[in-house]
């Protein structure tokens, strides 16, 4: 899949095997930007890294979605320290031209949203267990008090507690931070899924 930007050519490599396809991609330097769809891995796994000076015309990207939800309008666009500004601008144009919103971020596990919301979801599940408030009151408070469209408990039920488990477990392994350790209710949902399958 290719798309033209203002000047030069932007190549977009999509799909679960985008990284592998990128590995075989020739004439990389001739492109204005090469955009590689990422799963949970870092872009560096495909481009290689070099003592904090990595970066080129290659960017990673991922359309954000929560569990089984429809994909959101958000694209997290992954850059490296020396990624060219021209490549970033071109990537932005391509995605924004398709009606999406772009958030540029560094090449770290969980990018922006998962890195920020998974500790919040784990805390909500833990405090529910500890009886801070009922699930309904927890959700109502965070919706009414902060204007969130949905409370954390309802959101996790809708998008999948087992899915949350997988995402936060991977971040726990990446960062070793206890805030990412899957909360009991997420672990139970994961075990239950295993028992049923």
Partner 1 sequence: MAIVIKTVGVAGSGTMGTGIAIVAARAGFRTVVYDTREEALARARKQTEGFFANSVERKKLTQDQVGKILSSLSGTTDIAALATCDIVIEAVFEDLKVKHELLARLNKVCPPHAVFASNTSTLSIAEIAAGSGREDRVVGMHFCLPAQLMKLVEMSPGLKTSDATFQAAWDFCKALDQTPVKTQDSPGFILNYFLIPFHNDVIRLVEAGVAAPADIDRAIKAGLGYAMGPLELLDLVGLDTHLLVAEALYAATHEPRAAVPALVKRMIAAGQLGRKTGRGFYTYQGNAMFGGG
Nearer to partner 1, 48 or 131 (CB): 131
Near partner 1 by CB under 8 A: residue from 21, 86, 105, 174: 105
Dist. CA 32–CA 63, nearest whole Å: 21
Six-digit token string for 60: 């990673």
41 contacts partner 1 (rule: CB under 8 A): no
Dist. CA 125–CA 48, nearest whole Å: 37
Q: How far is the CB of 86 from partner 1 (least distance, A)?
A: 17
Q: How far is the CB of 109 from partner 1 (least distance, A)?
A: 11
72 contacts partner 1 (rule: CB under 8 A): yes
Q: How far is the CB of 107 from partner 1 (least distance, A)?
A: 9
Residue 186 contacts residue 168 (beta carbons within 8 Å)? yes
Six-digit token string for 112: 């922006």
98 contacts partner 1 (rule: CB under 8 A): no
Six-digit token string for 189: 């949902």
Dist. CA 125–CA 61, nearest whole Å: 30
Site string for partner 1, 139-168 (x = CB under 8 A): -xxx-xxxxxxx-x----------------
Q: HSE (CB half, 13 Å, CA atoms) of 111? A: 23
Dist. CA 143–CA 154, nearest whole Å: 11
What is the binding site for partner 1 (CB under 8 A)? 64, 66, 72-74, 76, 101-106, 108, 112-113, 115-117, 119-120, 123-124, 127, 131-134, 137-138, 140-142, 144-150, 152, 178-179
């Amino acid at each position: 899949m290719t798309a033209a930007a203002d000047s030069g050519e932007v190549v977009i490599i999509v799909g679960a095997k985008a990284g592998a396809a990128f590995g075989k991609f020739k004439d990389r330097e001739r492109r204005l930007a090469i955009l590689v769809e990422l799963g949970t891995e870092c872009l560096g796994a495909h481009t290689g890294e070099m003592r904090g000076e990595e970066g080129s015309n290659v960017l990673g990207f991922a359309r954000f979605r929560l569990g089984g939800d429809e994909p959101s309008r958000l694209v997290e666009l992954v850059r490296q320290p020396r990624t060219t500004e021209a490549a970033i601008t071109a990537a932005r144009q391509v995605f924004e031209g398709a009606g999406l919103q772009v958030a540029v971020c560094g090449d770290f596990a969980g990018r922006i949203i998962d890195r920020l919301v998974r500790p919040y979801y784990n805390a909500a599940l833990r405090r529910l267990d500890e009886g801070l408030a009922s699930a309904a009151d927890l959700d109502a408070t965070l919706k009414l008090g902060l204007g969130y469209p949905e409370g954390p408990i309802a959101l996790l039920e809708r998008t999948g507690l087992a899915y949350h488990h997988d995402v936060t477990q991977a971040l726990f392994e990446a960062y070793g931070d206890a805030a990412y350790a899957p909360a009991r209710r997420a672990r139970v949902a994961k075990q239950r899924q295993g028992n049923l399958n």
